[in-house]
Amino acid sequence: MNPGYRSRAPSTMDHMRPIEEQTILITGATDGLGRALAAELAAEGATVLVHGRDDQRGKATLQEIGGRASWYRADLSSLDETRALAEAVRTDHPRLDVLVNNAGIGADGPRRESADGHELTFQVNYLSGYLLTRLLLPTLISSAPARIVNVSSLGQQAIDFDDVMLHHGFSGIRAYCQSKLAQVLFTIDLADELAGTGVTANALHPATYMPTKMVSSPISTLEEGVRATHRLVTDPALDDVSGRFFNGLRESRADDQAYDRAARAQLHAISEKLTTA
């Protein structure tokens, strides 16, 4: 699925466009962090592409945030719908300044499978974001400078490459933590791959147990998570920062597996195999 792009020489003069000139896609933007981030960026003048899987919630979100926002429906439990989302965005917007992979599901319930036969948490939280990013890379690169922000978590667990889909010993927490670490492995690999293109990739744990539909006992405020994520989207000080993991506003260290080149290569090979139509 290599798009065959050519890198360009980086320049210290490259800076992100003013926010009012940017087009930003946020997945999972009809609730919680995604919705609040979309509202803030729209209020600042950005063109915000709001993604979700429910048309009614999408319409309500557009009415709430106003500005130059548009709606894109896709269920990320389907790789075909993820491909259609990428195609719709590419068709409507020849320029894309920021992709925020925020969509995700929590850790409750029994083991479930996606429409494609993959463990559901792994697909929604990681694999569909991987595919969406891959399909949008040519647009991001042609729009450079541009950014990819992967909303991960401090909840991380090493991936069992002998049983990635957790057919044995499944738990919702394990599935969630594995999927969130997969995002970080992808981020580090992507940063290396995109060096010299003007596109950066970073991941973050926005805040701990924010008041969203996935959390019953909040600890952090939604505003804390929005502030941390907004910083990765807009802060000029991060123009040349890539391949990092942040805990809120601070750079941090992910699980050791994220820095294992062989593990990242294994995940890449699996991801390519699972997403190649």
Q: Both tokens of residue 242?
A: 């890539």
Q: Is the dihedral of CA 270, 274, 275, 277 positive or negative?
A: positive
Pairing of strands 250-252, 245-247: antiparallel
Strand partners, 26: 50, 100
Residues recognised as catalytic: 176
Q: Distance of alpha carbon 6 from its chain centroid, rounded? A: 23
Residue ranges of E strands in the chain? 23-26, 47-52, 68-73, 98-101, 146-151, 199-205, 245-247, 250-252
Longest alpha-carbon distance in the chain: 51
- Tokens 């499944």 map to which residue? 170
Which one-letter amino acid corresponds to residue 134? R
